[in-house]
């Protein structure tokens, strides 16, 4: 596809349930990022993958949050025992990592809006 895609676009779940959010990056992009955007705020970093491995997971709020990228392409963000405070838009971005610096542009998907009732 032309851009980053995320599924589902909307997810409503009940407190305590498990959810999975999927991100399909731009083909050929080696770096993949997850961010969380709460209402009225800017996106906040969660985790960054370089290839298949999590290069930086320092933004994950607690051990209920986990993400994988087993083949270096599609990534899944997993949230266990969801809480009402997890309600937010979860954004995925990918980049090419040209030159190995932080100057490469991150391309964002439209996000998944998670609502925990």
Partner 1 sequence: AQSVTQLGSHVSVSEGALVLLRCNYSSSVPPYLFWYVQYPNQGLQLLLKYTTGATLVKGINGFEAEFKKSETSFHLTKPSAHMSDAAEYFCAVTTDTGRRALTFGSGTRLQVQP
Contact residues for partner 1, defined by CB under 8 A: 3-4, 31, 33, 35, 40-45, 48, 55-56, 58-59, 91, 93, 101-103, 105-111
Distance (Å, whole) CA 7 – CA 58: 24
The residues that bridge with 89 in the sheet, in sequence order, are 37, 113
| Shortest distance, position 103 Cβ to partner 1, whole Å | 4
Of the pair 16, 110, the CB lying nearest partner 1 is at 110
Q: Which two tokens stand for residue 94?
A: 């990918």
Of the pair 80, 105, the CB lying nearest partner 1 is at 105
* CA trace torsion 88, 57, 68, 35 (10° rounding): 30
- The total number of residues shown for the chain amounts to 117
| Shortest distance, position 46 Cβ to partner 1, whole Å | 9
Of the pair 31, 74, the CB lying nearest partner 1 is at 31
| Shortest distance, position 87 Cβ to partner 1, whole Å | 17
Beta-carbon contacts of 53 under 8 Å, excluding residues fewer than 6 positions away, are 69
Of the pair 3, 85, the CB lying nearest partner 1 is at 3
Q: Answer for the pair 20, 76: CB distance below 8 angstroms, yes or no.
A: yes
| Shortest distance, position 60 Cβ to partner 1, whole Å | 12
């Amino acid at each position: 596809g032309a851009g980053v895609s995320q599924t589902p676009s909307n997810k409503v779940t009940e407190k305590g349930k498990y959810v999975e959010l999927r991100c399909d990056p731009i083909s050929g992009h080696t770096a993949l990022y997850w961010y969380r955007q709460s209402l009225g705020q800017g996106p906040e970093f969660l985790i960054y993958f370089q290839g298949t491995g999590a290069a930086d997971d320092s933004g994950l709020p607690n051990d209920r949050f986990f993400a994988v990228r087993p083949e270096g392409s599609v990534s899944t963000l997993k949230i266990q025992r969801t809480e009402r405070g997890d309600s937010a838009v979860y954004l995925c971005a990918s980049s090419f990592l040209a030159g190995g610096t932080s100057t490469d542009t991150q391309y964002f998907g439209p996000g998944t809006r998670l609502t925990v009732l």
